[in-house]
Amino acid sequence: MLDGRPQALHTFQQFPYTTQPASSEHNELTRNAILQVGHTLAHKAAIVGDQGMLSMLLGAGCAKVLQAADSNGRTPLHLAAQYGRADVVAFIMKTQPDVSSQDNVSTCVLA
């Protein structure tokens, strides 16, 4: 607990949303994705390319969050690939994710 809040909540509130993608169009896509319901901290880290946050989650014993699907059936790996975060995709691939997982419209994670 930190300030009467669970550590994960404190970490979430301190998450750096100011990461700047390469273009303003990509920036808008990133903002819209972050606002979607059902994203875990791992989803948000995958979108903005925060490999350090994903590493911290793994180190804290939260490996299952890398397999969690959002309300659209997408995992952090789906989102890292969608947003061109090659370093994050490579990092997640080291955790041996289910690469056959599909989202709600049957898009395979590595399609």
What is the per-residue pLDDT across 46-83, written as a single tens digit (0 to 9) for each? Answer: 999 999 999 998 888 888 888 889 888 999 999 999 99
pTM across the whole model = 0.67
CB 41 within 8 A of CB 15: yes
How sure is the predictor about 17, in pLDDT bands with cuts at 50, 70 and 90? very low
Burial of 9 (0-12, 13-18, 19+ CB in 10 A): middle
